[in-house]
A and B are shown apart, each in its own frame.
Chain A
Amino acid sequence: MIRLENVSYCYPDGTPALTNINLTIRKGEYLGIIGRNGSGKSTLALHLNGLRRPQKGKVIVKGIDAGDFSKLQEVRKIVGIVFQNPETQFIGRTVEEDLAFGPENLCLPPAEIRKRVDRALAEIKLEKYRHHSPKSLSGGQGQCVALAGVLTMEPECLVFDEVTSMLDPDSGEAVLRRIKKLHEKGKTIVYTTHNLEELHVADRIIVMDRGRIVLEGEPEYVLSDPLLKDLGLTPPSLIELAEQLKNHGIEISWENTSSPSSFAEELCRLFLKT
């Protein structure tokens, strides 16, 4: 679906942000990207729909060169991005107008735009704020509006750049559930985060450090890799606990490290057996 070939990118001051990245994102894949601040995660995300163009190498989105300025419109219909700070992406005077901006640009009929906006509002449970200015909302509410703004575009591939960092745990989980549903419907998901607990659902995780991909694989292996700590990343606490229990002969299966309740359930079963 998206292919990065030998992509390199330097910041204006000469610091390399990405060095020789080769990556293929498959259609329908849920790809997690982790790494500390300044590791190049966001720069990579920005390359996926032409917001940044590679200084060396190529980004190919469904056969289209994302670095080609004349093809930008097409690429952006396929790949939508949600950013960390929602205020940077508000355009409309009211929440409703903001959500309608994308579909309006796609020249959809008014009835279809109305339908998509209403559906997105219901999904983020902010119907009662539809006539408010997006800037008057709290940080977390704003993030949900930004998310809904991309949902109304219905792109094939959605890129989320640290979208939950400003949300309370409940709203964060709601956003993650929503993303999971989109994935089940066949959307390709690219998700960057510091919070490794959120990547249990991913099909594949890449770990970035200083502009390079240093680790890659299924979450089961990546999230329990001791290298994470050396890279300044904290593994999810339940996975850490499971690893330590394993040293004492108590084995919690990978699936059950995803939530406190399934973890407790399996532990309970193990206790009753002994």
Chain B
Amino acid sequence: MPIILENISVFYSRNTPLEIAALKDVNLRIEKGEFVGILGEKGAGKSTLIKLFNGLLRPDSGRITVNGLDPSSKKVKSRVGMVFQQPADQLFCRTVYEEIAFGPLNFGYSRKETEERVFEALEAASLERSMLSRDPLSLSGGEMQRVALAGALALRPDYLVLDEPITGLDPAGKKEILETLKKIKGQGTTIITVTHNLKGFFPLLERIVLIKEGRISFQGSRKEYMETENVPLPPVASMMRELHSRGIQVNPAVFTVEEALKEILRVKSMIEKEKAEKERAEKQTKK
């Protein structure tokens, strides 16, 4: 069952002079099993949107259902796992074990069942068992991010919702998290992530939702997104699009360095061949 949002609006500081409409009339459908990226400028409403998915925030108008249920019901809360932008904000236990076990225990699972889930989540988040006794706040940024991830995974959620999961990590740390997410997605979990990091996430995204000033300005597959005008693209993709628009016959839907190199070399040899043929033709007519 999907997540369905119908005519959702959310206001902050409602009925005060400081009222701000964070989301306006949003309609959205997220199917199970997708890897969804939520993009948009600062203050567009991205983080507001994802907080609706497990009932952390209630819409001021409109309707949202997750698996056909109201997201504030307890049943939904264990189906939708959240990982926030600053992992330190959601780590509060003394050891990594307690941290990951917190969710399952809270939902009333037995000690034994909880332990099983902790080990399973630990592995899914690519963490070592030796880490279980450590203080979560003494870990590096990337490790903390993975502990927060494991905490969410311990409930075996259908949906994993992330807010900028690779912000502030160095390239190696980013790559680790991306690999981990890819693995989790492969096991059937739907992943919804807010991100600015197009370079890192773009290859993983199957579906893209672009928010502009509280409204959805684009939703569709990555392919459709790449064919849309005026959307943020990773550097290589935007270079290829520019080349294409200047009349060079490269495939504009390419976004990795390797693919771009291949395309440019292909077109280069094509142009050279054409030119050589033209010269030959000219010579012959002269003769």
| Chain A 70-114 interface 0/1 with B at a Cβ cutoff of 8 Å (1 = within) | 000000000000001100000000000000000000000000000
Question: B171 — which chain A residues lie within 8 A by C-beta?
Answer: 36, 194, 232-234
> What are the residues of chain B within 8 A of A172 when measuring CB–CB?
196
Report whether B198 and A37 are in contact in the complex, using a CB–CB cutoff of 8 Å. Answer: no
Quick one: which of A234, A241, A268 contacts B260, CB cutoff 8 A?
A241
B206 interfacial by beta-carbon distance below 8 Å = no
Instruction: Indicate if B235 sits at the interface (CB-CB under 8 A).
Output: yes
Interface residue tally for chain A (C-beta within 8 Å): 48
Contacts A166-B85, A171-B41, A172-B196; A274 near B271 (Cβ below 8 A)? yes
B69 within 8 A of A: no
0/1 string, B184-212, CB within 8 A of A gives 1: 00000000000010110000000000000
Given the complex of chains A and B, what is the CA–CA distance between A197 and B171 in angstroms? 12
B-side contacts of A137, CB under 8 Å: 43
Q: How many residues of B contact A (CB 8 A)?
A: 51
Contacts of B170 in A (CB 8 A): 35-37, 194, 232-233
Chain B residues contacting A139 (CB-CB under 8 Å) are: 42, 47, 85, 164
Give B241-287 interface residues, CB cut-off 8 Å to A: 241-243, 246, 248, 257, 260-261, 264-265, 267-268, 271-272, 275
> B73 an interface residue at 8 Å Cβ cutoff?
no
Task: Judge whether A241 and B42 touch: CB under 8 Å.
Answer: no
B239 at the interface (CB under 8 A from A): yes
Query: Which residues in B have their C-beta under 8 angstroms from that of A274?
Result: 268, 271-272, 275
Point out residues on B near A: beta carbons under 8 Å: 12-13, 17-18, 20, 39-44, 46-47, 85-86, 140-142, 164, 167-173, 196, 198-199, 232, 234-236, 238-243, 246, 248, 257, 260-261, 264-265, 267-268, 271-272, 275
User: Which A residues have a C-beta under 8 Å from some C-beta of B?
Assistant: 35-38, 84-85, 131-132, 136-141, 143-144, 162, 165-172, 194, 197, 232-234, 236-238, 240-241, 244-245, 248, 250, 260-261, 263-265, 267-268, 271, 274
